Structure 1
Amino acid sequence: MPENLILLAVLLGGGFIFLAILFRFVPVPLWITAIFSGVRISLVELTVMRFRKVPPRLIVRNMILATKAGIPGIDSKVLEAHHLANGNLNNVVRALIVAEKANLNMNFQEMAAIDLAGRDVLRAMQISVTPYIIDVPDIVGLARDGIQVEAEALVTVRTNIHALVGGAGEETIVARVGQGIISQIGATNTYLEVVENPIAITERILADGLDAGTMFEILSIDIADIDIGQNIGA
């Protein structure tokens, strides 16, 4: 009788050890979660991911997100490849979801290319849907009458999706708008022209195409604040 109990204990202990090792290398619970979430992926694929140093949970989680959002053509191999290329998989899939909801015609390959180019693809898609305001402070121009005009501008932009790879960033917009306002102030005969009609300045700047070669499309430029500075010509 004691021998039978010892044998039973050994078998149970061995069984627990076997299951622990099995669940360590074969993510059965994760596979079950994937199946119930409508994601088609095999247990073998999930197991092999561990040997490729790809986190199975990362792949499955993003496949579930894509499936729930109704995004087609997302399989584990595509996601694995992007992860192994040091891409930000979470950002790419979430950016795809934003684009899908906004009816933007973007696919995974395009998003992945933007991500690998070093852009924050999720933020770019969000700005494409919801315009973003860039503050351009500390603009100081000199009118022809010798009076300084100090201004602050607010530039409303949205992402130019097709220029994300290779397009200049926010710093370029700030520099161009600031320089454009300084030039326009310098073209006025008196500082009063700026103070009384700042819209005329921003309209002329908008016509100059300052967003060319950048990752943004400028929607509007507004003078948020104007102050009169020193009389340099006195």
Structure 2
Amino acid sequence: MNVLGYLIPGIVVLVILVVFLSFVPLGLWISALAAGVRVSILTLIGMRLRRVPPASIVLPLIKATKAGLDLSVGALEAHYLAGGNVDRVVISLIAAERAGIPLSFQKACAIDLAGRNVLEAVQVSVLPKVVETPVVAAVAKDGIELKVKARVTVRTNIDRLIGGATEATIIARVGEGIVTTIGSSNSHKEVLENPDTISKTVLEKGLDAGTAFEILSIDIADIDVGENIGARLQMDQAEADKRVAQAKAEERRALAIAREQEMKAYTQEMRAKVVEAEAEIPKALAYALREGKLGVLDYYSLQNLQADTRMRERLGKEEEKGEGQ
């Protein structure tokens, strides 16, 4: 009975100790004390209650303290609860401090919460990044197409990182500058002889305004001669002019045919009227004879005149046939 009396309290104490050690990260607290970081047991218990992993706060705090940065547990915990990456922010601050880049804790947290990789931004600030543009096609004033590929060296601008445009904007602006520069050149040979003029002209435009980067240099990696766009456009224009001329000629031909048909219809109508009028002549002569307005001698004279007229017409046609043969 005495053994059980000592064993049961011992088991209870052991269970309580195990539960306490599993809830309170005693090893982490000892590590913090050894590194010179003052974190109380109650603070660690509070993190557990707030569902914040103590290691996610204490270990970055140890890194910051060893690097000489003055950060508080509350600030790191607040950034974690806001959804930020505490360890990445601390490493970024250490890298920026070593590189002499001014970066405050609030700024780093804002960049991290904005969805930007603050560590990558600091690294690009220290070691500039080279961005390669796709092939940009542009046409000089002489109509020759040039295909250009450029390499843009950029460095992160920490102050404009929040709200600044990304690399895609830099690439688009550089491409626009290349097209403008080549398009304003009188000849493609000028561009081939001095490709650095493209870089100088594009750099003078201040293309990094409003972006999260600072353009250090623009280098022409490759430049090739493409098609003769001017000649092709002239050929297309000539073909279009030809089709327009053909359409107008067809329109004139259709108009002429329509007029010819109208004249034929008018001629047939006039002939019909003449025939109709000639049919009335005998009636008129008979009426004139009855009324005494036309004598018999006058009638025979008229007949002789008509016969003479028909004879003259027949002789004229025979002469025309003889000349034609």
Q: Given the two structures, how large is their TM-score scaled by the length of structure 1? A: 0.94
Q: Which has the larger radius of gyration?
A: 2
Are 1:40 and 2:35 an aligned pair? no
Measured in 1, the distance between the counterparts of 2:10 and 2:175 equals: 75
Please point out which of 11, 24, 27 is paired with 1:26.
24
Per the alignment, do residues 229 and 8 of structure 1 end up closer, same or farther by CA in structure 2, a change over 3 Å counting? farther
Measured in 1, the distance between the counterparts of 2:5 and 2:222 equals: 85
Letter in 1 for 2:154: V
Q: What displacement does 1:170 show?
A: 0.8
Measured in 2, the distance between the counterparts of 1:141 and 1:7 equals: 95
Matches within 5 A, 1:48-59: 48-59=46-57
Q: Which runs of 5+ in 2 are unaligned?
A: 232-325
Letter in 2 for 1:162: D
Larger fraction in helix: 2
Matches within 5 A, 1:33-182: 33-72=31-70, 74-182=71-179
Measured in 1, the distance between the counterparts of 2:14 and 2:73 equals: 31
SS at match of 2:146: strand
After superposing the two structures, state which structure 1 stretch, 212-221 or 88-97, moved more: 88-97
Letter in 2 for 1:48: G
Please point out which of 184, 187, 192 is paired with 1:190.
187
SS at match of 1:105: coil
Measured in 2, the distance between the counterparts of 1:45 and 1:54 equals: 11
Q: What displacement does 1:117 show?
A: 2.1
Q: What displacement does 1:165 show?
A: 1.4
Please point out which of 163, 180, 197 is paired with 1:200.
197
Measured in 1, the distance between the counterparts of 2:227 and 2:5 equals: 96
Q: Which has the higher contact order (CA 8 A, sep 6+)?
A: 1
SS at match of 1:224: strand
After superposing the two structures, state which structure 1 stretch, 187-196 or 172-181, moved more: 187-196
Q: Which runs of 5+ in 1 are unaligned?
A: none
Measured in 1, the distance between the counterparts of 2:205 and 2:127 equals: 24
Letter in 2 for 1:170: E
1:137-157: CA deviations, max 9, x gaps?
121111112111111111101
1:108-134: CA deviations, max 9, x gaps?
111112222222111111111111111
Please point out which of 208, 215, 223 is paired with 1:218.
215
Q: Given the two structures, how large is their TM-score scaled by the length of structure 2? A: 0.69
SS at match of 1:200: helix
Q: What displacement does 1:5 show?
A: 3.4
Letter in 2 for 1:202: S
RMSD: 1.3
SS at match of 2:214: strand
Measured in 2, the distance between the counterparts of 1:225 and 1:19 equals: 71
1:145-176: CA deviations, max 9, x gaps?
21111111111011111111111111110100
Q: What displacement does 1:13 show?
A: 2.6
SS at match of 2:230: coil
Identity of aligned residues (%): 51
Aligned residues: 231
Measured in 2, the distance between the counterparts of 1:16 and 1:130 equals: 55
Q: What displacement does 1:4 show?
A: 3.4
